[in-house]
Amino acid sequence: MDHAADAHRTDLMTITRFVLNEQSKYPESRGDFTILLNHIVLGCKFVCSAVNKAGLAKLIGLAGETNVQGEEQKKLDVLSNEVFIKALVSSGRTCILVSEEDEEATFVEPSKRGRYCVVFDPLDGSSNIDCAVSIGTIFGIYTVKDYHEPTLADVLQPGKHMLAAGYCMYGSSCTLVLSTGGGVNGFTLDPSLGEFILTHPDIKIPKKGKIYSVNEGNAKNWDGPTTKYVEKCKFPKDGSSSKSLRYIGSMVADVHRTLLYGGIFLYPADKKSPNGKLRVLYEVFPMSFLMEQAGGQAFTGKQRALDLVPTKIHERSPIFLGSYDDVEEIKALYAAEGKE
């Protein structure tokens, strides 16, 4: 037995301890934010457990059928949504919730209100569940001006006003990546403890990457700059080697790989989706926030992604995010097109 390794393992930085340490840097803090994050973490653990059982549940005839109590078994994305709504409302620290699954924003009843807005996609990439590809939860947190009288304007803020953002990926391991505005940290769920442990402290994206990630099936509908950029990735004119293409089709998994290995993730606007496909509030903003915090960039084709001011809660936007130098290249192509 390696007693030294075991002794080392006893000093675990759990996500709870990490967030409490961060809180202690702000003497005026009341711990509201810490409580809210703990409820988000609980939601992630629940969904992780549900995702891991999804195949089995189907195997024994649960999904979509009626159980003994006469309740219909819920699809995973609907179940995940309910779990997060209940976890966030019960924290007593939220006043508005915006979910990808709900057409309207949820205004928390006055007795349970707090000063935070949470925007989230409870299960991103859920079409990949049946083939066991990584999926995840994405979330962003804002503060409201007056939580006694919250309005939709409190949520329709640019991403640069976000207080924190993160995602939890349910894959070969359950990984939670979080930024509260002072860098990016990654935690992995230790199933034997039921705790998220800090495994990726202070994540920094490489300045330039060797990977590009895009759905090339849409290539015939792309605009000029995207077409030129992808062409350049495959057939570089400066004698450098081509980039590798990696595309999972699950935003959380593609962004996670981009964050750790570097490179660029693109979901451009095209003729079919002139405003892009990804939603601003709970996909584009949180991921752009994390990228910038890790030293990368995020660009919409027109502006810095976090400067975008949304007008609707389910608004969409094109997005190019990843390594600083790679995003600079696509920005230069858009700038050149603008001059023509």
pLDDT digit string (tens) for 259-279? 999 999 999 999 999 999 999
**Confidence label for 2 from pLDDT (cuts 50, 70 and 90):** low
Mean pLDDT of 134-160: 94
Mean pLDDT of 170-185: 96
- Confidence at residue 131, expressed as pLDDT on a 0 to 100 scale: 84
Mean pLDDT of 158-179: 97
Q: Is the pLDDT of residue 10 over 80?
A: no
**Confidence label for 5 from pLDDT (cuts 50, 70 and 90):** low
Q: Is the pLDDT of residue 53 over 90?
A: no
pLDDT digit string (tens) for 191-219? 999 999 999 999 999 999 999 999 999 99
**Structural domains in the chain plus CATH codes:** 3-200 (3.30.540.10), 211-338 (3.40.190.80)
**Confidence label for 40 from pLDDT (cuts 50, 70 and 90):** very high
**Confidence label for 8 from pLDDT (cuts 50, 70 and 90):** low
- 238 or 186, which is more confident? 186
- Confidence at residue 136, expressed as pLDDT on a 0 to 100 scale: 96
SS3 for the chain is: CCHHHHHHHCCCCEHHHHHHHHHCCCCCCCCHHHHHHHHHHHHHHHHHHHHHHHHHHHHCCCCCCECCCCCECCCHHHHHHHHHHHHHHHCCCEEEEEECCCCCCEECCHHHEEEEEEEEEEEECHHHHHHCCCEEEEEEEEECCCCCCCCHHHCCCCHHHCCEEEEEEECCCEEEEEECCCCCEEEEEECCCCEEEEEECCCCCCCCCCEEECCHHHHHHECHHHHHHHHHHHCCCCCCCCCEECCCCCHHHHHHHHHHHCCEEEECCECCCCCCCEEHHHHHHHHHHHHHHCCCEEECCCCEHHHCCCCCCCCEECEEEECHHHHHHHHHHHHHHHHC
- Confidence at residue 55, expressed as pLDDT on a 0 to 100 scale: 73
- Confidence at residue 75, expressed as pLDDT on a 0 to 100 scale: 83
Which range (29-43, 45-59, 193-207, 275-289) has the least confidence? 45-59
- Confidence at residue 130, expressed as pLDDT on a 0 to 100 scale: 79
Q: Is the pLDDT of residue 63 over 90?
A: no
pTM value is: 0.93
**Confidence label for 139 from pLDDT (cuts 50, 70 and 90):** very high
Q: Is the pLDDT of residue 68 over 50?
A: no
- Confidence at residue 56, expressed as pLDDT on a 0 to 100 scale: 74
pLDDT digit string (tens) for 88-115? 999 999 999 999 999 999 999 999 999 9
Mean pLDDT for all residues in the chain: 92
